[in-house]
Amino acid sequence: MEYDENGVSIVPFEFKKEIFEEARKDFRYEEYVRGCLNCGVCTGGCPPHRFFDFSPRIVLQNMKSKDPELIWTMMDEYIWACFQCFTCAMICPFLNNPGGVIAILREIAVRRGFESAKKVLKPYSRVLLKLTAYGNQLSPDMIQPDFFPDWGPHIGYASTDLPTKRKAIPMPTLQVTNLAWDVAPETMKELYDIFDEAGVFKIIESVDPSLYEIIQDIVDDVRSS
Amino acid sequence: MAMEISNRLGLADIKSDYIHAAGRKLENIHDELLELEAKGEVKVIHVKEENKPIEAETLFGWKKKIPTNKLWHHKSCGQCGNIPGYPVSILWFMNQLGLEYIDERNQTSCTAWNYHGSATSNPVGLAAVAVRNWHRAYELGLFPLFHCATTFGDYKEMRNLLVENKELRDEVRRIMHKIGRELVIPEYIVHYSEWVHVMRFEIAKLKKYDLSNIIVTVHPACHCYKMIPEDCIYDKEIYAGKRTAVSTGIALTLGAQVADYSTWYDCCGFGFRHILTEREASRSFVMDRKIRPMVREAQSDVCITQDTGCTTTLDKNQWIGKAMGYTEQVPVMADVMFAALACGADVYKIVQLQWHTTDWRPLCEKIGIDWKKSEDEYNAYLEELKAGGKTVNLYEYPLTK
């Protein structure tokens, strides 16, 4: 890796071009990037635009420019500001889908294990573990006051006497504390096969190798049960 | 400054003959799906007579059959983990109406919350998970009903991608073969709020309380009406067909007032990743763009939602607003939970409002619900369970693997 006088890594133009080509080759690209009037309706309605340096109009314009340098400028934290609400896609007069373009670029960032992606997703590892290893995402025992102090004092309700309170929910599937619902082991095994075949486990390995090892231990246990 | 609100109330029930087409001309994916079925390319889960379908109109005036019976519940990982009254209220209504369904352990998350937050999946992974769950409903002879708006949006997208891309179909078919399943696609992707919408007149027959003094503000979920917008219910008698009709429809049918507010179209601030790892963005959005306008412009008594993430984000992020001097508060719940309250469902055992953080007791008192009695009974019930008592379930596990 080359570095400039400030110690910042210099990314070769060829690599930036490769990233752009990877995005353009995605089978969804033609559907998501059409004509753009630069009208800015997408940015006007974009929720994260109100709080972040982020504009779906710029995303579209950069993609339309076909300039790998401009597209590269979005591959750091920029693409991670998007809320994925698809307001932009709903209101675009040309039926562009900037949110969809963001999804393609994010997929590339995690697939290639970019440092920016690793940094942004580091605090997300607890969720990744739960989803990938057990087949659902938010479990009741994750809602702890120390993780969500900004949700107020009542959030402690969910962390006291949790097994009894969950048992009182009149749906048998929900009477567990470590999963949103009680997923059958055979169902988890099918999910693991899908993740293997679709390359999802490989993606997690590239973005968080330590987490991948923990997940694989759980997967091995469930598969051998 | 005092806001003039009288002209905002009642906007929801303006009627029109105008069909909102939004200037779009898209392929009707339903017709393309049936063509693929005719060629033997895919199997289709059809809406049958036994599903007792009720027809609704979508954005372009296309017809969508909403099955109301013999349903397979596709639960939401956010709802079940965090807002249990959401799925319980759906099942409670189905019991009240004598409808058949299955809820079971043989279901995975759609994994789309994770995808939109972290991108750690891809179209093949998302489509294979979708088809895996669809096939489970298919082999039981049931029609799948999706509880979460992100599942609804993701599955609409996956259906479209599968119909339009042979390579994706072939890859998903290969994976399904490996896990002993087939490539099946439902004739319609149906969200629970659509079930509530078409059943609203039946639900209203169960009404126990007068809601005429209750001011409702509706927060429509982005992944319901912005993802694949053409496949979302619109009704010329609700907002003159210019906004999605779901959730507003049930509130109006139950006799509540639905008030407009200037930021109705904004998202909730969930952001998929932001709600967990960049919460200052979510909570600022909640207070500035949603809760304050709902309270200041509409004097809302309750915010009605139709999605997991929206309910969580809008409910949980109000308390912290006090640190910035924001005093506006409004209870948040899904349309089906509000309807269950109106129809006399127990506040604690069924609607499970005890898990919510923003105070919902003033709403109950305004409706005339004795929440304290319900709380006392619930606490006694918890003691019974601790002593080894059995849960009174809405249903028992079916005999499935």
Q: Which of A209-213, B274-278, B312-316 is predicted with the least confidence, judged by mean pLDDT?
A: B274-278
> How many percent of chain A have pLDDT more than 90?
76
Residue A49 in any domain: the answer is yes
Question: Which of A25, A74, A85, A121 would you mutate first to test chain B, the one with the most B CBs within 10 A?
Answer: A85
* Mean pLDDT to the nearest integer, B32-51: 97
* Mean pLDDT to the nearest integer, A164-190: 96
Cα–Cα distance between B287 and B289 in angstroms, integer? 6
User: Do B170 and B274 reside in the same domain of the chain?
Assistant: no
User: Do B144 and B54 reside in the same domain of the chain?
Assistant: yes
Which CATH number covers residue A104? 1.10.1060.10
Task: Say yes or no for a CB contact (<8 Å) between A155 and B123.
Answer: no
Task: Say yes or no for a CB contact (<8 Å) between B77 and A150.
Answer: no
Residue B390 in any domain: the answer is no
User: Do B217 and B180 reside in the same domain of the chain?
Assistant: no
**Identity of the residue in A87, A182, A191 whose CB atom sits nearest the CB atom of B108:** A191
User: Do A156 and A206 reside in the same domain of the chain?
Assistant: yes
Q: What is the pLDDT of residue B333?
A: 98
Q: What is the pLDDT of residue A3?
A: 66
Give per-residue pLDDT as tens, B296-312: 999 999 999 999 999 99
Cα–Cα distance between B329 and B18 in angstroms, integer? 36
Q: Final residue of a domain: which of B146, B165, B192?
A: B192
User: Do B178 and B219 reside in the same domain of the chain?
Assistant: no
Residue B20 in any domain: the answer is no
Residue A55 in any domain: the answer is yes
User: Do B62 and B132 reside in the same domain of the chain?
Assistant: yes
Q: In this structure, what are the phi and psi dihedrals at residue A60, rounded to the nearest 5 degrees?
A: -65, -45
Confidence of residue B25 (pLDDT cuts 50, 70, 90): low
Q: Is the pLDDT of residue B24 over 60?
A: no
Q: How far is A57 from chain B (nearest CA, A)?
A: 17
* Mean pLDDT to the nearest integer, B42-49: 98
Q: Which two tokens stand for residue B353?
A: 């409002």
**Identity of the residue in A121, A154, A167 whose CB atom sits nearest the CB atom of B385:** A167
Q: How long, in residues, is chain B?
A: 401
Residue B6 in any domain: the answer is no
Per the CB < 8 A criterion, the answer to whether A135 and A161 are in contact is no
* Mean pLDDT to the nearest integer, A150-165: 90
Residue A53 in any domain: the answer is yes
Q: Is the pLDDT of residue A17 over 90?
A: yes
Q: Final residue of a domain: which of A80, A112, A144?
A: A112
Confidence of residue B3 (pLDDT cuts 50, 70, 90): very low
Token pair 């937050």 in the structure block, residue: B117
Q: What is the pLDDT of residue B2?
A: 38
User: Do A203 and A166 reside in the same domain of the chain?
Assistant: yes
Q: How far is A5 from chain B (nearest CA, A)?
A: 33
User: Do A16 and A79 reside in the same domain of the chain?
Assistant: yes
Residue A118 in any domain: the answer is no
Q: Which two tokens stand for residue A15?
A: 């690599």
Q: What is the pLDDT of residue B13?
A: 74
- Comparing CA positions, the residue from B200, B194, B199, B223 lying closest to residue B307 is B223
> How many percent of chain A have pLDDT more than 70?
98
**Identity of the residue in A51, A157, A179 whose CB atom sits nearest the CB atom of B281:** A51
Amino acid, res. B119: A
Cα–Cα distance between B351 and A139 in angstroms, integer? 19
Q: What is the pLDDT of residue A147?
A: 87
* Mean pLDDT to the nearest integer, B19-34: 71
Residue A34 in any domain: the answer is yes
User: Do A101 and A173 reside in the same domain of the chain?
Assistant: no
Residue A77 in any domain: the answer is yes
**Based on the structure, what is the number of domains in chain A?**
2
Residue B102 in any domain: the answer is yes
- Comparing CA positions, the residue from B18, B12, B10, B3 lying closest to residue B236 is B18
User: Do B184 and B216 reside in the same domain of the chain?
Assistant: no
Which CATH number covers residue B146? 1.20.1050.140
Cα–Cα distance between B187 and B185 in angstroms, integer? 6
Token pair 């139950």 in the structure block, residue: B254
Tell me the CA distances in angstroms from B46 to A202, B127, B144, B338, one per residue in order: 36, 19, 11, 31
**Based on the structure, what is the number of domains in chain B?**
2
Q: What is the pLDDT of residue A156?
A: 86
Confidence of residue A91 (pLDDT cuts 50, 70, 90): very high
DSSP state letter for B206: T
Q: Is the pLDDT of residue A194 over 80?
A: yes
Domain containing A66 equals 2-112
Q: How far is B205 from chain A (nearest CA, A)?
A: 24
Q: Is the pLDDT of residue B21 over 70?
A: no
User: Do A176 and A79 reside in the same domain of the chain?
Assistant: no
Q: How far is A35 from chain B (nearest CA, A)?
A: 15
Residue B15 in any domain: the answer is no
**Identity of the residue in A45, A47, A107 whose CB atom sits nearest the CB atom of B285:** A47
A10 CB neighbour count, 10 Å cutoff: 9
User: Do A129 and A94 reside in the same domain of the chain?
Assistant: no
Q: Final residue of a domain: which of B161, B192, B223?
A: B192
Residue with the bigger pLDDT between B218 and A160: it is B218
Question: Which of B59, B118, B397 would you mutate first to test chain A, the one with the most A CBs within 10 A?
Answer: B118
Q: Final residue of a domain: which of A58, A92, A112?
A: A112
* Mean pLDDT to the nearest integer, A141-166: 90
* Mean pLDDT to the nearest integer, B122-131: 98
Residue A8 in any domain: the answer is yes
* Mean pLDDT to the nearest integer, B282-290: 93
Residue B391 in any domain: the answer is no
In the stretch 314-333 of chain B, residues with CB closer than 8 A to chain A read: 316-317, 319-320
Mean pLDDT of all residues in chain A?
A: 93
Q: Is the dihedral of CA B285, B287, B292, B294 positive or negative?
A: positive
Confidence of residue A158 (pLDDT cuts 50, 70, 90): confident
Closest chain A residue by Cα to residue B115: A103
DSSP state letter for B287: I
User: Do A95 and A135 reside in the same domain of the chain?
Assistant: no
Q: Final residue of a domain: which of B141, B165, B192?
A: B192
Domain containing B310 equals 209-380
Give per-residue pLDDT as tens, B143-193: 999 999 999 999 999 999 999 999 999 999 999 999 999 999 999 999 999
Give per-residue pLDDT as tens, A48-65: 999 999 999 999 999 999
Displacement of CA B147 from its chain's centroid (Å): 5
User: Do B316 and B256 reside in the same domain of the chain?
Assistant: yes
User: Do A108 and A151 reside in the same domain of the chain?
Assistant: no
Residue B223 in any domain: the answer is yes
Q: In this structure, what are the phi and psi dihedrals at residue B112, rounded to the nearest 5 degrees?
A: -80, -30
Residue A186 in any domain: the answer is yes
User: Do A105 and A136 reside in the same domain of the chain?
Assistant: no
Confidence of residue B244 (pLDDT cuts 50, 70, 90): very high
Confidence of residue A159 (pLDDT cuts 50, 70, 90): confident
In the stretch 144-173 of chain B, residues with CB closer than 8 A to chain A read: 153, 161, 165, 167-168
Closest chain A residue by Cα to residue B87: A171
Amino acid, res. A85: C
* Mean pLDDT to the nearest integer, B34-57: 97
Q: What is the pLDDT of residue B18?
A: 53
Q: Is the pLDDT of residue B98 over 70?
A: yes
Q: Is the pLDDT of residue B397 over 90?
A: no
Residue B242 in any domain: the answer is yes
User: Do A95 and A22 reside in the same domain of the chain?
Assistant: yes
Which CATH number covers residue B354? 3.40.50.11810
User: Do B179 and B251 reside in the same domain of the chain?
Assistant: no
How open is the CA angle B161-B162-B166, to the nearest 5 degrees? 110
Q: How far is B246 from chain A (nearest CA, A)?
A: 17
Q: What is the pLDDT of residue B401?
A: 45
Q: What is the pLDDT of residue B5?
A: 39
